[in-house]
Structure 1
């Protein structure tokens, strides 16, 4: 054990061995990135560094081949990201939806999710969900205000970036509260049956939606105490 530690410490003074460690450092750093583009760029840098290390210093052609394939895959993925960034531009409501997605979500998955949504406009007084009734739509608020009532009590105020009907979508249960539009709303509306069928056949789409809903639920919980005075005024 002591000999192994001594060998490791001795290697830290060798530039070639340090370069080998650096290639793995880049790979680990890429795995820590939240943004997919940054992850891919660091992965490519790691792969290229490993190719140099394996080809020049270690002379391992098998590793060079697989590192080259690794680099190629990540370059292709970067190209796809660039394509979707430049050829699938969003309108205002869709861009709002995309901007509120977690940083780790791939843009192509967002585009596929948005293809399932319809843009709707709701006037004040429109009821989006009724307590105890089945919910057939998942609503994303791009603009406007919706109050959430449980019984006769206003329990929350939802605004841009919030979902309405997400608990029913996740659980399959009827609505647990009434959701009523307070200020004119522009919303992206997903038919729950179509959305359920789509994510059943697309694991990436399911992860994208789960990430978005979990992020929104966490945000609602953190805001709930601060929103109570506002909710009472809206009532």
Structure 2
């Protein structure tokens, strides 16, 4: 089964994805980005520094990069003759979800930029790239701020104050737009309230969700 782990920045997606990948020994995991991805890290740094004229370029890179890696991964899954019932592909965020960031960022550029990105997005994203199940980790804005500073990524922390309104707007709209996208693409999802829960508690809840969905799908 292809399972996407979704949610706001610092919701705990990567940690949960890694734990699930380690738990399901024959699974494959696709990271949202690699730590050493110089292009992504540079774009992200420029975004937080509010450098001009990079928005569509950044969003297009994310989609194309993720889409290519996803195709390579699913091809390998089939080549290795893995069992879709017991062997899973975990996505640390997935292509469709990046539309949320693009919509909010490009809205500041005007409608024609949104229209241009919508056209590009519709062409690049196929239903084959969608997870069969998305697990959405929901956190409050207060939890988001706490976790941003706890994990201490230099680009995020150093530019937090200048991007406060962006983060606030993103949090206010993230789940709303996620639900709109899920409805449009008929995406099945389950929400976990990750506030005031340990990583183990979130992990255990995710395992129960996955086992329930797998049993329902393949019974």
TM-score range, shorter chain: under 0.3
Which structure has the larger Rg? 1
Q: Which has the higher contact order (CA 8 A, sep 6+)?
A: 2
